[in-house]
Every structure is written in C-alpha cells, then in structure tokens.
Amino acid sequence: MTERQTGDVSKYWSPTARSIEPYTPGEQPRDRRYIKLNTNESPYPPAPAVLEAIGRAADESLRLYPDPECEDFRTTVGRYFGLQGDQVFPGNGSDELLAFAYFAFFDPDAAEPILFPDITYSFFPVYASLFRIPFERVPLREDFSIPLEPFCRPNGGIVLANPNAPTGMCLSIDAVRSILEGNGNRVVIVDEAYIDFGGDTAAGLVPEFPNLLVIHTLSKSRSLAGLRVAYALGQAELIEGINRIKNSINSYTLDRLALAGATAAMKEESYYREMRGKITATRERVTGALVDMGFTVVPSRANFIFTSHPTEPAGSLFSSLRELGILVRYFNLPRIDNHLRVTIGTDAEMDAFLAALKRLV
Amino acid sequence: MTERQTGDVSKYWSPTARSIEPYTPGEQPRDRRYIKLNTNESPYPPAPAVLEAIGRAADESLRLYPDPECEDFRTTVGRYFGLQGDQVFPGNGSDELLAFAYFAFFDPDAAEPILFPDITYSFFPVYASLFRIPFERVPLREDFSIPLEPFCRPNGGIVLANPNAPTGMCLSIDAVRSILEGNGNRVVIVDEAYIDFGGDTAAGLVPEFPNLLVIHTLSKSRSLAGLRVAYALGQAELIEGINRIKNSINSYTLDRLALAGATAAMKEESYYREMRGKITATRERVTGALVDMGFTVVPSRANFIFTSHPTEPAGSLFSSLRELGILVRYFNLPRIDNHLRVTIGTDAEMDAFLAALKRLV
C-alpha cells in the first residue's frame, strides 16, 4: 500500500526524510474519464445547503484569517454528538488528525510498541515510521476479523480503523469497550471514517473513557472529500494534547470556506441519511450479485466491499477493469493480494462494474 | 511571542506534547468590532476573479478528492516565476510549509545548531522545539538589521524571514546570495511572506542554489489569509524532500476551493499590484505622520510597521488602543518590548489609528 518514491536521496534531506516510505493515495486520474471506484468517495453530491454556505462565505472576508479555534464548527459537532465544544478537534482531513494524534500521544522511547492490525489502513505504519514510534502489527484472524486479546497486552497505544479498511469489517461497540477497558493507561485511537455506513460509533463512550480518541471525516458519508475536513472526539485533556501539536505546526488548518461548508454539512442530517441509505442498499445488492457470480465478499459496514474470486487473480482483474474504464483499488500485499477493494458508486456505475466483471470471469 | 498554554500535563501526552510551547497567533476578536491592525492581513478584498473561480469550484465535484499533486496550481506558480512545476510545493499556509521544511531538512542529531535571528518570526523556535532540532539565535544589530557573518559559521541550516518580522527590515538580494554561498551544504530557508511590499525576492536564485528554499504566502499581498495557501520554491530535490514529509502526514493538504482560488489569484497580477501600491503608499504616509509625532519607525518593506515612542511605553499604548477599538500587536519580549507592530490598513483605518495615538501621546 506504500511504496518508496523513486529518486536519489539528497544530501540536504534529514534522516527522517531519507528513511520514510510515504503513503501513496489512490489514483486521481487525469488521462481519461473512469468509473471511479478506487478512493471511497461518495457517488452523491454534498447537500445543497453546503454549497450555499460556501457560496456565502466566498466573499471579501477571505482577506481575513479564519477562526483558529473553529468555534462554530466545534460547537456544531459537539451538539451533534451530545458533547462539549472542547471535546472536538477539527482537522484538515482525518490523515492530518491521525498524524497529530500519533505525535501527541505515542512515545518514541516507550518500552512497548503501539499496536494495530496487520491488515488495516496503510497510513498507520507510515505515521509510526515518521515519528519513530515502535509499532507491531497484530494479525487479523483468517476471516479478517479483529481478535481482541492481543490488543490488551502491554503496548504503547492502539490504533484501529472501525469499520476496518480495506476489509469493511466492523467491531461491535462492546468489543471497542473491552479494548478501552484493557488499555486504561494508553490512548486508543478509533478511526471511524466509514462508521456512518452501518457501524455503531464509539462517540458515546467519550465521556466514560479518558483514553478514547474517535476520528471522523466528512470525506465519505458527507460527500466532501474535496473540502478536507475531519474531526476528533475525545475528553478535553486529549483534545488539548492534539491542539498543542497543531499549534506548533499551523495555527489555521481549516480555511473559511471549508469551515462554512463543514458546519452546514453537520446540520443536513436527513439529506445525508438518505444518501447513506442509497449507498448501503446498493452495497447489499452488489454483494448479492457478486456472490451469485462466485465471488467471496467480506461482510462490509463501509461504502466499499472487499472481494475475491476463486480462480481469477485480483491483480489481473484490476488491470482488466482499468482497461475497461473502471478503477478499483488493488493492494499487492501479503494476505490481501488476491482481493479487490471496490467503492460503492451509483447503481448505474455498479451495474457497469458488474457487467464488466461478467465479461472477465 | 509564544506562551505556555495553561492546563495540567496529561499522562496520555507524549514527551513532545508535554514539553513544547505552542505558537500563539494574533487575536481574532469575536467580542466586538475592532480596527484590526494586528495580524498583517490585507485591508483590500481578493481579486474578483478569485471569488468567481471559487464560486465555479463550489459544485458537486466537492464529493471527489482534490488533486494531491496540485498540478494546475504548481504549473501556474512555476510559470509566474519562470520555474518548473516540480520546483514548486504548495501548502496549507506558510506555517505548514515551514514545519514540513524543518522536518525535511534539519537533523535533530546534527553537530551544529540551525540559526535564525534573535528577533524574527516567533514560530521559528517552536518548530525547532517540536522536532527537537538544536537552534541558536543570532542577535540582530542594534538597529535591527541582520548581520551576515554570523550566518556563515558552521550550522545545521538557516532560517530567515525577509523582510524580517516583526521589524519589516529587508535584506538585499546580494546579502541573501552571500548567505547562500556561505552555506553550500546546508539548506537556507527564506520566508518571504512580506516580499511583495517592496523587497526583492530570492525566487530568481533558485536555479543557481540547490540549498535555497523560498516560501511565499497568498495570505498577505494576495488578500487570502482566509484561504490558507502558500508555496515553497526550490530545486526539485528539495521539493521532493518536503513532498516525502507531506505524503507521510496528509495526502491532500489543499482543498478544491483553495486550489481554485489560489490558482486564479496568481493570474491577477495587475489587480494585486494596484493593491500593493495602495498599501505601500499608505505605509509611507503613516510612517511620516508617526515620525512627526515623535515616534521612531523601523524602515519597513512589509505591510506593517514597527514603531516605538520615546516616552509612552508600548505596552500601555497597546492597551489604550485596544480600549479605543484598535488592535495592534505587542510582543512582551527582550529588546522589542517597547515596540508595536502595526499592520497597514486602509487610509481611513490608519487615520483613525493616528487620531487615537494623538490622544494618547
């Protein structure tokens, strides 16, 4: 999922810049028009009120700095979850929030490594390398489910994606609770980028667990990947820790337009509920169709599915789909190099995807 | 310029989160309407074409990620300076770029410290503390000018603001060149946030010096503090180093709206030249008026002035101006605790500022 970028090492680079292996995001094609099922964007537009709010904010006040505290947005998010504004930390996408959280909570000199699954969001080990935090990968079970006990052994912190990526599998709230209880002295980061597509958020556990940091993004379920807004939820003490890192890097990570659009998006619940309903209905229909075609499909609570075919190698399916104008994501990595991750698009896009597969298998 | 934030240290914080002293940005008031001369924003609106470009971008394509490479923006900036796109690195404000550059080019284990002036942008030491990079402050001369020789002694890198902040004084291009020549094996970062108000940019030296990184922002001279866009200029090898850090933190630091607005802004040269002309004319007029009132004013090439009065302490002037509804910036720090930094506003705002001062001195 990551690959070393090409090019010689420069004498001007720091040891960190030399040694890291940066994350490689999914392709954003420029050469032709694809059916784009590779980066888990929503196929549906943002709520109209979001675009209106951005239009209103695009005036001459852009000459002024944004609110560095993002007060309106934090209050709005807090209200949405029944939390206080100081239990919310806004960021420029969940990737930035994860980076800040690693920096704020994990100790490079800790005796024990931080833990995350061997199959999970491929940015997790990148942050650990960047900040020189020792880490260990906990193997998922054979069916890609997350075992609980290994996450309760001595560690320097826990990072989980829930639902997990790229599998789409979801931990129950009881499972999350047991991991929190087993790690009272360590921060547990739960990256819930895909939680709105069928999982139960751990946001409600924030008042109970001072070691819990939940991270949400507006990129997926709120159709705003292009706006770069996410937020973390946690007790004020954790939020203040991230804030200290952020205020040592960039006072203003969210521009006025992003703040306006994101604040509006948090108030458009019925619109977004309807869009999520469409996406999950399509997901179930496509899952059924794939199973009928002989594919195995990991049970997904996300806006993507993780699937493999008993005879057609995923790598060649990936290439053939690309030639047919359909982009999906393929990770050439141990244990998952025979799977494809396919974003749920519109019904028409998924029909085209299924039709293409029928030609290929 | 920085102050330790209040609140107890948390057991969940990393050693870095515990020890850093975050930067404190200038006040963004919410309680009442001030004449705001405290954060060096432009008093004039962005070019109309910028707002139009943002309006066009605020459509349903916001559901899709932005271009992680920012190709259009990089090409546009490159063309503006006669450089290649791979000699341009876009960032979410110059603060973020500075953070990435420290991380990419300065070595925490270097035998020699990085160097910057004792009086300069107060974020410089914050980054050094954050990344545990040894640093040393080089004293400015008595008149706040930057001495050259101390910046050519053995070091781990150089960071300069040119024009310097909060003084507004500017190094000549020959002076910058001599620092670059004296530091062939070290990266020299020149933060030119205020260069458009009368200084000579070092951008033209990029093809000649592989150790030069120039940083510009659209927040000041392009009236876009609210949009969070800046860029670094350097040879491809340096740009790739920053890129490796950025791609280990956040694949997409600029949203679609910021990219659209910033790209348009780089093409509106005649509008922005006119606005800069107004600001520098106002600066000269206000400087004259202050001198007539007995103030000393440091010669400024920026959109602010740095001034002190022989008998009225700056700290009390700051407070009195605030009570009169005028915000300026006061740094309670050695050598400059009797100076005020005053952003150049509109002529009407500056007349109000001068009238208020007349009441106070």
Q: Are both B174 and B220 inside the same structural domain?
A: yes
Q: Are both A103 and A167 inside the same structural domain?
A: yes
CB pairs under 8 A between A and B: 293
Q: Measure in Å the smallest separation between the Cα of B335 and chain A Cα atoms.
A: 24
Q: Measure in Å the smallest separation between the Cα of A24 and chain B Cα atoms.
A: 7
Residue A6, domain member (yes or no):
no
Whether A188 contacts chain B with CB within 8 A = no
Whether A95 contacts chain B with CB within 8 A = yes
Residue with tokens 């470009």: B53
Q: pLDDT digits over A169-227, tens only?
A: 999 999 999 999 999 999 999 999 999 999 999 999 999 999 999 999 999 999 999 99
pLDDT for the residue A319: 97
Which segments of A36-92 does DSSP mark as H helices, in order? 48-57, 71-81
Q: Is the pLDDT of residue A269 over 90?
A: yes
**pLDDT bracket for residue B114 (50, 70, 90):** very high
Q: pLDDT digits over B213-234, tens only?
A: 999 999 999 999 999 999 999 9
Q: Are both B226 and B340 inside the same structural domain?
A: no
pLDDT for the residue A26: 82
pLDDT for the residue B231: 98
Report the domain count for chain B.
Answer: 2
CB contact under 8 A, A248 and B43: no
Q: At which of A237, A268, A299 does a domain end?
A: A268
Helix, coil or strand: residue A71: helix
B 114-173 → A contacts, CB under 8 A: 126-127, 129-130
CA distance B170 to B182: 19
Q: Is the pLDDT of residue A2 over 70?
A: no
Could you tell me the residue range of the domain that residue A350 belongs to? Answer: 11-45+270-360
CB contact under 8 A, A55 and B60: no
Q: Is the pLDDT of residue A82 over 50?
A: yes
Q: Are both A304 and A245 inside the same structural domain?
A: no
Q: pLDDT digits over B167-206, tens only?
A: 999 999 999 999 999 999 999 999 999 999 999 999 999 9
Residue B176, domain member (yes or no):
yes
Q: Are both B264 and B274 inside the same structural domain?
A: no
Provide the CATH number for the domain around residue B23. 3.90.1150.10
**pLDDT bracket for residue B26 (50, 70, 90):** confident
Enumerate the β-bridge partners of residue A308. Answer: A296
Look up residue B69 and give its amino acid. Answer: E
User: Backbone phi, then psi, for A353, in 5-degree steps?
Assistant: -60, -45
Whether A7 contacts chain B with CB within 8 A = yes
Query: In terms of pLDDT, which residue wins out, A358 or B7?
Result: A358
Q: Are both B93 and B72 inside the same structural domain?
A: yes
Which segments of chain B does DSSP mark as H helices, in order? 15-19, 48-57, 71-81, 93-105, 124-130, 173-181, 236-246, 256-265, 269-292, 314-323, 347-360
A 235-274 → B contacts, CB under 8 A: 237-238, 240-241, 243-258, 261
Q: Cβ contacts (< 8 Å) between A30 and chain B: which residues?
A: 67, 71
Q: Cβ contacts (< 8 Å) between A72 and chain B: which residues?
A: none
pLDDT for the residue B37: 97
Provide the CATH number for the domain around residue B114. 3.40.640.10
Q: Are both A187 and A41 inside the same structural domain?
A: no
Q: What is the DSSP letter of A342?
A: E
Q: Cβ contacts (< 8 Å) between B109 and chain A: which residues?
A: 15
Q: Cβ contacts (< 8 Å) between B39 and chain A: which residues?
A: 65
Element (H, E) at A264: helix A256-265
Residue A3, domain member (yes or no):
no
Residue A260, domain member (yes or no):
yes
Q: Cβ contacts (< 8 Å) between A42 and chain B: which residues?
A: 63
CB contact under 8 A, A63 and B226: yes
User: Which of A62, A186, A238, A245 best probes binding to B when mutated, by most B CB atoms within 10 angstroms?
Assistant: A62
Q: Cβ contacts (< 8 Å) between B22 and chain A: which residues?
A: 243-244, 246-248
Q: At which of B239, B268, B297 does a domain end?
A: B268
Q: Are both B256 and B318 inside the same structural domain?
A: no
Residue B325, domain member (yes or no):
yes
Whether A33 contacts chain B with CB within 8 A = no
Rounded mean pLDDT, A69-74: 97
User: Backbone phi, then psi, for A313, in 5-degree steps?
Assistant: -60, 140
User: Nearest residue on chain A to B50, judged by CA atoms?
Assistant: A58
Residue B2, domain member (yes or no):
no
CB contact under 8 A, A46 and B60: yes
Q: Is the pLDDT of residue A96 over 90?
A: yes
Whether A29 contacts chain B with CB within 8 A = no
Element (H, E) at B159: strand B158-161
CA distance B29 to B118: 29
Helix, coil or strand: residue A308: strand
CB contact under 8 A, B107 and A14: yes
CB contact under 8 A, B62 and A226: yes
pLDDT for the residue A7: 54
Q: Are both A30 and A56 inside the same structural domain?
A: no
C-alpha triplet A56, A61, A63: angle, nearest 5°:
140
User: Nearest residue on chain A to B36, judged by CA atoms?
Assistant: A64
Neighbouring C-beta atoms of residue B237, cutoff 10 Å? 18
User: Which of A21, A23, A24, A65 best probes binding to B when mutated, by most B CB atoms within 10 angstroms?
Assistant: A65
Q: Are both B67 and B162 inside the same structural domain?
A: yes
Neighbouring C-beta atoms of residue A54, cutoff 10 Å? 26
Q: Is the pLDDT of residue A165 over 60?
A: yes
What length does chain A have? 361
pLDDT for the residue B7: 54
Q: Are both A211 and A355 inside the same structural domain?
A: no
Residue B243, domain member (yes or no):
yes
Rounded mean pLDDT, A309-319: 97
User: Nearest residue on chain B to A55, judged by CA atoms?
Assistant: B55
Residue B156: name the closest of B125, B187, B123 by CA: B187
Q: pLDDT digits over B295-335, tens only?
A: 999 999 999 999 999 999 999 999 999 999 999 999 999 99
Residue B54: name the closest of A138, A186, A111, A51 by CA: A51
pLDDT for the residue B1: 31
Residue A67, domain member (yes or no):
yes
Q: At which of A268, A298, A321 does a domain end?
A: A268
CB contact under 8 A, A62 and B223: yes
**pLDDT bracket for residue A99 (50, 70, 90):** very high
Q: Are both A138 and A277 inside the same structural domain?
A: no
Q: Which residue among A63, A225, A241 sits closest to B225, beta carbon to beta carbon?
A: A63
